[in-house]
Chains A and B, each alone.
Chain A
Amino acid sequence: MKTATILEVENLKVYYFTQRGVVRAVDDVSLEIDKGELVALVGESGSGKSTLAYAIMRMVPPPGRIVSGRIVLSGIDITSLSEEEVRKLRWSKVSMIFQGAMNSLNPVMRVGDQIAEVLLYHGAVYDVEEGRKIARELFKLVGLDPERVMSYPHELSGGQKQRVVIAMALALNPDLVIADEPTTGLDVTTQAKIMDTIRDIQRETGISVLLITHDLPLVAEVSDRVYVMYAGKIVETGDVDKIFYTPQHPYTKGLIGAVPSHIGPKKRLIALPGEPPDLRSPPPGCRFHPRCSYAMPICKRKEPPRTGTGPRDFVECWLYAGEEVKKVA
């Protein structure tokens, strides 16, 4: 292998054990990210993509828990670590930009001090002054005026707050940053600038980024590779050009066909029919079959096999299964 693999998720299952049944939010998912890659995880709300992110942080909220599978982060299997050991890794090896995090900054604390606090907590610095100094450096990195460390959150615009949150995620120089819908709630022009910043930092520092979003155009703009998640499963993966120019899975095709573009000829959009399934009782066979216009009888009975060249380029769909496989099934 040429470059180091930062994150390996193997056959991960994360279920929520609610009073009204077991929600299979992440159901046998494998995924890998190399050093310096920006990988996108795309899916609708309820597809389990945020749960997967929480699992990588080892922060699955109850009643959810990791049922089986492995998460290997920088060579360490974090699924078997104790809570205490995980706490040390969290933020220093993997950090997360939470959805809407910019609105959860402490309103009565200077933003620089909030970053210094993270540094102090993890023992990276020994006093606030030192922490502020690093915060200044981080602010420069994310395109903020270093003097802003003395500001309070209400003195900053939405875009600036989001930059503070990004700076906080980078504070301990992690190997991997998970960005969960990092631009929702921001204006279009701000959104573009924030994504540029994330991409630039990622290229300069060689950090790996897992971008979680439902916004396909955003994915096309910044990512190297893409995982498409549907109802708790990865249904297709490949590099960004393959996903956008030669998508295979009907769900991927549907997602792309449903998104308007302001360039090129005006196309007719084809809406994906229906709603994602209830993950307490997902449909049998291929989970997408009730919404799929190519569905065949076999799709309702058996889970589709994986076809492709490897763990980074595959599709799980009966349309691409060889005749022998279908016969056996």
Chain B
Amino acid sequence: MEAVSVKRYRRFERVIEFWRAYSRTRLGLIGLGILLFYTLMAIFAPWIAPYDPKARVGGSFEPPSAEHPLGTDEMGRDILSQVIYGTRVSLLVGVLAALLAAAIGSAVGMVSGYFGGLVDDLLMRITDLFLVIPGLPFIIVLSVVLGPSIWNIILVIAIISWPSVARLVRSETLSLKERLFVQASRVSGATDLYIIVHHILPNVLPIVAASMVLTITSAIILEAGLSFLGLGDPTKISWGTMLYFADRQGALLSDNPYYIIAPGIALIGIGLAFVFVSYALDEVVNPRLRERER
């Protein structure tokens, strides 16, 4: 309604505007704070962790003490150090799997929605196929076939996560391609590829990003789940493998229940953080939820 202010506007100001809207959501800030904490922990693990997580540094199942704040495991390794190092694997798996899923999903969704017709039918039937496959059994079978490795876990999680992204991106693309600016671009002489890269992609990215946050969460939890079932990579310390070993060694009944509680709480924390961020993003990115500033 009001006249437009004369101001030079640079790309980064978009970011600032985004941040301003985001920082107004309290949940979002809390979530981001927790995530920052985890990220720093993952990056600086070797400096923060008091011990080498794989080294025997005490007796087995030692209860918490000044030397070992969370006690030790059956082999006398420091639990706190393991939890700190475990952050690395969990985050790596979560982020990479979500990125892979987002990439596959966006590509399939955009191509399907943009070109329509036979391509759309074919791609969407494949998507449906993956959507109706029961997730957990499929993952278990696949990881057994592929063998226990962190890269296989990432791959497997991406395979079951991309279809929902593809659905989301397709429906967004369907409405975007009818927008006048896409038609204008076509009249200008732009090729389909150019239009997808320059007009469709930038406009679907925000919703892909928002959906990715939730994919990361489920990927982290899936990784833990797989590892807990013994399908993880036993050479890497993750919260999932910790839970697996803790369970097998009967940690809950031992002198040091923190063996099982600590990685559990770490998991809940990161899951909650991502959910908070996703709520906040939804509020900022989703135009229907965003209050209009007059």
Contacts and interface: CB of A to CB of B under 8 A. Distances in A.
A touches B (Cβ under 8 A): yes
A85 interface: no
Interface residues of B, number: 8
A18 B3 contact: no
Interface string B59-84: 00000000000000000000000000
Contacts of A63: 294
Contact of B4 (A16, A25, A278): A278
Nearest to A16: B294
Interface of chain A, main secondary structure? loop
Interface residues of A, number: 19
B16 to A, nearest CB: 13
A46 B3 contact: yes
Contact of A277 (B1, B3, B293, B294): B3
A278 B1 contact: no
A276 B294 CA distance: 17
A164 to B, nearest CB: 26
B294 A46 contact: no
Interface in B1-33: 1-6
Contacts of A276: 3
A45 to B, nearest CB: 7
Chain B interface main SS type? loop
Contact of A61 (B2, B3, B4, B294): B294
A276 B2 CA distance: 9
B21 to A, nearest CB: 11
A310 B5 CA distance: 36
A25 B2 contact: yes
A51 B1 CA distance: 9
B260 to A, nearest CB: 49
Contacts of A95: none
B294 A18 contact: yes
26 contacts: A16-B2, A18-B293, A19-B293, A23-B2, A25-B1, A25-B2, A46-B1, A46-B2, A46-B3, A50-B1, A51-B1, A61-B294, A63-B294, A64-B294, A275-B3, A275-B4, A276-B3, A278-B2, A278-B3, A278-B4, A278-B5, A278-B6, A279-B2, A279-B3, A280-B2, A280-B5
